Structure 1
């Protein structure tokens, strides 16, 4: 690719200056956007030396720089913030376990604070915590339940400013069979409550079968793994729907469906996701995300835009290389996260600017043609990301947990990364790239954007 000057909108420059660029002791930027992209490209390219001491990292740095500077690809925010700096924590998505113990709960609070400080977001399942009013044997008192501990995590998050970047973000998951599920569903009914959390109910196949049959459903005390009470499944599902309509939350996670696609089931069970829900992860696992700007993946032919499949394939290949390198150059907040993250090497390459792409192609977003375009596009996207990961595995080896993965059982797909693709919301990086966010439509043709910087 040829090196091009960076074309940034005023909003993009404002976001970069306030949140991403290095600053002096007075809070003033001491680098330009060009410097930031160069800092990141140089830092991430250096990982190639781990696998080949004669690697041409100068050439790779130029390729990475031009990929970023032309706004064709953007990694998750921590990579923009921290690459080549003291923090050097470059991953966005983390899931931490929450055990039924005061000591371990507050250890997790500390671990979450370290992650938030470095710009990452955290997901938790609170399903192991004993229900409210359950017995506490050591004191003879009553347990306060998972909702009370969610508030502790929320207040800790409120106190941590992510390196001057933004407040932390969390996902709270509670299994649908937990005795406190009704309290969880309504936990954000008051505006401002748990404002640093998204909440999702962990749905099981057993529960959905009970909903369809209008049957009673068992709520299980996780402390003793016994039935605490029975509820009507349809009525419980109606409560979920009602609050989702009223508040926009809770969301739902189909846990059995997620675990059916778990690439490393012998390593652990997936019980949570990152704050926006797009990346299911094992306890103590992290993932690096990045998104390709589809609005740039077009070429004019006969005075009409068409998808530039050659360019898209090249960018996918380079982006997979970039994200795999990030795993190696990143620092990790705690050793458990480093161990499982490097063991599985999950990456989440996604897209942004899909609505802009459709506009350029002359396709209405709410049309059958748009659905067909999306299906063809993402089939190609997934295939090429898989091929790029396989090529990396040929040079660098498969991820170390591969023998315990579903791919080893099938005996044919030798991937460098346990997962390759993820569609993220791309809230801030789409502002930098000046494109529509994720796969969302444009909600207005003309609008005024207010960039929240505090």
Structure 2
């Protein structure tokens, strides 16, 4: 038995808690995830509640909202209903609700969208507010489309705008500084409209996977743009501040560039903005600009949404040896889940007053599903088939309609959502409690707790090997697949190990064709079927469907392009893709990867490549008098040493292009590892006749030329090692740290590991437990320990 489980049992006994015979039917891995991330701990970090205690805590807290509407409400009855569906794993709310309900933090929502205004005050307010949300366990979405483009004039200061991407890097740095209360790492969604003048830079801003690591990014597509793509026409770029046309680009070329970047490393994703707003239930309150980090929840600025998912495996019944959907039970669970999620809105502790006001005005909830792929196995339906797609459509139609019926019933008892007068329902004559009701989220760790597949994603692997204590390997096999193979007399450990090695049963001998036909995995399924399934659910989902289309490594750019176009044509609201092995340091592979050995000859002949410029640097700027006037020299450091030089000539004129070219070459040389003393040696002493002529009559001139001035500035920087921090960023981070009380020395902000003191970027394995990691909804998730990371 795993040591973690032994320890858990000892703690339970020591506390003398009646565990009720492990009423919550969870496996050992689920218990490990709960203990690590969900169950309450004392100041020493010891777990002090059981999974059953957690369920009681959540059910009791959320049930209290009934009294807000009826003083005589039977709270005990509601609490029991909530307890039963969660304890039986029939329904699970999003992680913040399980973690925080009935505890001091009390923040229960998973997803938020914040506005980013086109001013320094607005930008840094958004950074501060995001930090508060991350600290409370939520994820944030932003549209950077309001920010003026790089190089545009800032009239209030006479300066030049640095553009959306530069500020995204500041948001990213602030997120890196904030740890989500020791439970989850900060996650962001960054969106830019396709007609923003900086769109090309945005598309490629994550080409280097070490950049902007705390963001998923998506391009906000418009119908006009997509029409131009199909016609291969130009489209206009518009200044968001002045609304003036700033240029044109060929739509097909831009679309191909998006495809190329996504093929390379999975980003950017695409979001169809016009479709989000066509389904905006409260257009009177404003336009939808962004979504939560995984893309399934379009929200207005300052809105939040709490999510929950129904475990579809628990909605099956067996009759005459065959499984079928128990629609009566499913309907009952939908009713309880809608009631639960509506209550969460009232008992929630919101991180900002603006968020509380906006959330309570629309009362959006997001009820979804998990275990869909498992349900198809039990029903004998193939995921990549018309029958599978039609079934998904029928199933979600039932859930969506039942959720609407329950929301109407709640409206009769509690009233419509306050922003009803600004909604599409006012003219339809439908009195509804919640502006939206259904969402398909990726489910991440809650599907690990439930022991089922994630969201509506196909299963990644039938069998895989998981690392456990002392480097032991534990073979994990899908429960129903194991049951069937035992019944058919073909089960063996050797077969399961072979499946784990191959990652699929499609080409393994000895497995009957009818089983092969049903138990398909992600890479067995052609991309078009991923999109068809997503579209079938989207038709009956108020919000959106989080879905990642997984491609094999051999997939072409044309395959990605066709998938994006199919998603557009079939009515999806967005799509994310991931090509296996496309990122440096493979994120998840079903086959072993051999380490490449570089010989000494290869190392000698290898061309030197400058290290990537970091997102933030620190440095000094000094003014030097030269023959042409004033030369301003900026010398910046990164964590290694001096990494770059910038120069700027004053108004007197001179030759700015020459000094800029010199600065660029110096910067490249520094980041390529050239010893700075050799650079200084080459620069110092270079003479310029203009400077020498002026120097004779001007005692303020103490240099021989621009290069000489740069060389001396570098020398002073090395000798004095002056480090002046960027106060615009560090001040806001310090302010955020004080306000949200960010813990220090208790884990890495990157990976939540208790012992880690540095960022772990090797994502081929989970940084916490060493097991493989899956992609879903633009994020990665470890099914062994619950570790997750977006961006």
TM over 0.5: yes
Q: Does 1:414 align with 2:431?
A: yes
User: Kindly tell me: are residues 3 and 378 of structure 1, through their superposed partners in 2, closer, same or farther at Cα, counting changes over 3 Å?
Assistant: farther
1:71–1:293 Cα contact (<8 Å) kept: yes
Q: Does 1:282 align with 2:313?
A: no
Counterpart residue number, 2:442? 425
Distance 2:38 2:232 in 1: 52
Counterpart residue number, 2:251? 233
Q: Does 1:155 align with 2:167?
A: no
Deviations 1:178-229 (A, max 9, x none): 0110110001111222111100111111111211221111111112111111
Q: Does 1:139 align with 2:160?
A: no
Distance 1:409 1:329 in 2: 31
1:327–1:345 Cα contact (<8 Å) kept: yes
Counterpart residue number, 1:105? 123
Counterpart residue number, 1:255? 273
Determine which structure has greater relative contact order: mean sequence separation of CA pairs < 8 Å that are 6+ residues apart, divided by chain length.
1
What CA RMSD, in Å, does the superposition of the two structures yield over aligned residues?
Answer: 1.4
Counterpart residue number, 1:444? 461
- Long gaps (5+) in structure 2: 1-19, 467-770, 772-784
User: Kindly tell me: are residues 296 and 363 of structure 1, through their superposed partners in 2, closer, same or farther at Cα, counting changes over 3 Å?
Assistant: same
Equivalence map 1:325-336=2 (5 Å): 325-336=343-354
| Structure exhibiting the larger radius of gyration computed from Cα positions | 2
Counterpart residue number, 1:435? 452
Distance 1:314 1:352 in 2: 17
2:408–2:433 Cα contact (<8 Å) kept: yes
Deviations 1:160-184 (A, max 9, x none): 1111101111100000000110110
Q: CA deviation at 1:138?
A: 3.3
Deviations 1:37-89 (A, max 9, x none): 11000000000000011111111111111111111101011101110011111
Equivalence map 1:6-45=2 (5 Å): 6-45=24-63
Q: Which aligned runs of 4 or more in structure 1 are off by greater than 6 angstroms?
A: none
Counterpart residue number, 2:109? 91
Q: CA deviation at 1:436?
A: 0.2
Mean Cα displacement is larger for which, 141-150 or 266-275? 141-150
Mean Cα displacement is larger for which, 238-247 or 311-320? 238-247
2:116–2:123 Cα contact (<8 Å) kept: yes
Counterpart residue number, 1:386? 404
Distance 2:29 2:389 in 1: 31
Q: CA deviation at 1:453?
A: 4.2
1:4–1:66 Cα contact (<8 Å) kept: no
Counterpart residue number, 2:705? none
Distance 2:132 2:460 in 1: 36
SS at the partner of 1:447?
A: strand
1:199–1:249 Cα contact (<8 Å) kept: yes
Distance 1:394 1:226 in 2: 48
Structure 2 length as normaliser, TM-score? 0.56
Distance 1:327 1:38 in 2: 19
1:4–1:70 Cα contact (<8 Å) kept: no
SS at the partner of 2:274?
A: helix
Equivalence map 1:22-421=2 (5 Å): 22-411=40-429, 413-421=430-438
Distance 1:82 1:8 in 2: 20
Q: CA deviation at 1:144?
A: 1.1
Number of residues of Structure 1 aligned to a counterpart in Structure 2: 452
SS at the partner of 2:333?
A: helix
Mean Cα displacement is larger for which, 176-185 or 156-165? 156-165
- Long gaps (5+) in structure 1: none
User: Kindly tell me: are residues 452 and 74 of structure 1, through their superposed partners in 2, closer, same or farther at Cα, counting changes over 3 Å?
Assistant: closer
Structure 1 length as normaliser, TM-score? 0.97
2:448–2:786 Cα contact (<8 Å) kept: no
